[in-house]
Amino acid sequence: MGDRPEALRALLDSVAAQDGTAIDVVVVGNGVRLPGLPPGVRSLELPRNLGIPGGRNVGIEAFGPGGSEVDVLLFLDDDGRLPDKNVAETVRAAFEADPQLGIVSFRITDPESGTTQRRHVPRLRASDPSRSSRVTTFLGGANAVRTHVFQQVGGLPDNFFYAHEETDLAWRALDAGWHIDYRADLVLHHPATAPSRHAVYHRMIARNRVWLARRNLPLPLVPVYLMNWLLLTLLRRPSRPALAAWFGGFVEGWRTPCGPRRPMRWRTVWRLTRLGRPPVI
């Protein structure tokens, strides 16, 4: 968004310092003018803010259709930083070792405290963020995706704008037979924040949750999944304005187009269940 030039420069410096083959870098200005960038870094300035998935999709296409000019794409938040120089080489080795590995999710830690927020561990059993595992979703601002995944299942859902776009892609990738790994040894430093800092947070998570279910789940699971999330939201006792925004988004999710519906196969439902997160929670 163009409002963190010092943090962006620190991130780009940490990418340039990676061991091994140099990484081609594109910075997308999502409806803003970008600050000065280091030599060799490409910039794309969009005339308007397309949201997180829309901006990332533009970045993907900068490397050819579906990212076809490269084998793997890294997605890194502009206020993050890679503290270790071996991240790129570790990512390359992971994809080379497992041809069915489609997505790698990094571990996000606060640079001051070294802690990882629970929401940044993409599994239900999140008490030990230092444990790597197979997972059913990934972190949008700290990941690596094999470009064959995009070419096979398509990009991120543009219309989501913010929230749950990663899970939408993850479910489609899993349904196509790809694996997703959470790698605790791949670290991105990122200041600990609350997602509710975004004014649209409560509305977007509710609307996109409905869209996610409508697009990807077998029909019998749609009401189960959404009822569970309704109950969880009420149990968390959000403030009255937050709850009003959430219900507004929930209704919007039913009243507005969600994009193409491609329900996952029941064998994928079982696969997600065996991985510890059946697609009803």
Give the pLDDT score at 195. 72
The pTM of this model reads 0.96
Last residue of a domain, one of 161, 193, 225: 193
* Residue 199 pLDDT: 59
Q: Residue 217's pLDDT is what? A: 98
Domain end call among 165, 193, 221: 193
Count of other CB atoms within 10 angstroms of residue 243: 16
User: Domain count of the chain?
Assistant: 2
Please check whether residue 280 lies inside any domain of the structure.
Answer: no
Tokens describing residue 178: 């790809």
Question: What stretches in the chain show pLDDT beneath 70?
Answer: 196-199
Q: Residue 18 sits in which domain range?
A: 5-193
Instruction: Note the pLDDT of residue 194.
Output: 76
223: Cβ–Cβ under 8 A, 6 or more apart, which residues?
none
What does the pLDDT read at residue 134?
A: 98
CA distances to 11, 70, 95, 244 from 25, in Å: 11, 12, 19, 41
pLDDT for 198 = 57
CA 106 to chain centre: 10
* Beta-carbon contacts of residue 38 (< 8 Å; ≥ 6 apart): 9, 12, 13, 16
Domain CATH code at residue 11: 3.90.550.10
Same domain flag for 158 and 226 = no
Q: Supply the pLDDT for residue 155.
A: 97
Token pair recorded at residue 36:
């000065």
Q: Give yes or no for a contact between 131 and 184, defined as CB atoms under 8 angstroms apart.
A: yes
- Co-location of 172 and 231 in the same domain: no
